[in-house]
Amino acid sequence: MGASCSMKERIEPCVVDSDWLDIPEFNGPEKQLIRTTWNKLEVKSDQLSVEIFLRIFELRPEVKTFFPFDDLTKEEMTKHPHFKSHSIRFIHAVAMTVHHLDAWEVIHIPNLNKLGQHHSKIPGFTHDLFEVFITAMDDMWQRYLGKGYDATTRTVWIKIFRFIIDQVEIGYHEGMENLTEKHRDNSTNKVQDTTTEVSDQNKVNGVISNENTSVSLDQMTS
C-alpha cells in the first residue's frame, strides 16, 4: 500500500490509500543535485518564503482568509509578524527536508505530521488546499533557478514537494480523526450525563410521589 502519483505539467495529487506512504529514494547524483540547487535557493530563503505564500494567495485566494490580514495591502501583509513567521516556518520545513535526506523517518517525518495536525485545528481548512503549496513551490523554483530548473532537476524536486505535502496531509487526517474521536467521546459523555440526570430525577419524583401518597393515607385515616 502507498500512494499512486503521476506527474504532468501541473502536478496531480497523490491518492493516499493508507496511513503510510513510500518514502522517495534518491541516488548519489540526485542528492547532490538537490543539495546544490538548494544552496542557491537558501541564500534567498527569506524572500523565497514570502513569494511562495504570495503565489499561494494568487492561486487560491481563499487561503488568505485563514490569516488575520485579509484586508491588508501586499506590502502591509508581507510585514505582518504572522505572515513572516508562517512563511519562515514553511521554508524551514523545506530546508530540514533537504538537510535530513538520509534520516527522514527518524527526524523529519514526525515534524511534518505535527504540522499537518496543527492545520486540522483551523476551522474551515480542508486538505485539498495543501496541493497549492506544490504548485507555488514549483513556480518559485522555476523563477529563482531559471534554466537550472531543467527536467531532471524538476523531477527530483517534485518528489521533495510531494513528500512534504503528503506527510503534512497524513498529519492533517490524523488530527481530524482525533478531533472526531474527541467529539464522539464528548457526545457519549453528554448522553450518559443526561441519562444519569433523568434517572436521578425519576428517583426524586418517586420519593415525592411516595411521600404524597403517605400523606394522603394519613389524612384518610385521621
Cell digits of residue 211: 411521600
Note if the pTM is more than 0.75.
no
Rounded to 5 degrees, what are φ and ψ at 84?
Answer: -65, -45
| CATH number 3.40.50.10890 given to 26-173 | no
Q: Over the chain (222 residues), what is each successive 10-residue block's mean pLDDT? A: 38 42 85 97 96 96 86 89 92 94 80 89 88 97 97 97 93 87 56 52 54 48 48
Contact 63, 57 (CB under 8 A): yes
Percent helix, strand, coil in the chain, to 5, is: 75, 0, 20
In angstroms, rounded to a whole number, what is the distance separating the alpha carbons of residues 191 and 83? 42
Residues 6+ apart with CB under 8 A from 170: 16, 19, 21, 113, 116
pLDDT at 20: 46
**What is the pLDDT at residue 201?**
59
pLDDT score for 185: 52
- d(CA 120, CA 123) in angstroms, rounded, equals 8
Judge contact between 166 and 113, C-beta under 8 A. Answer: no
Phi, psi at 102, each rounded to 5°: -100, 5
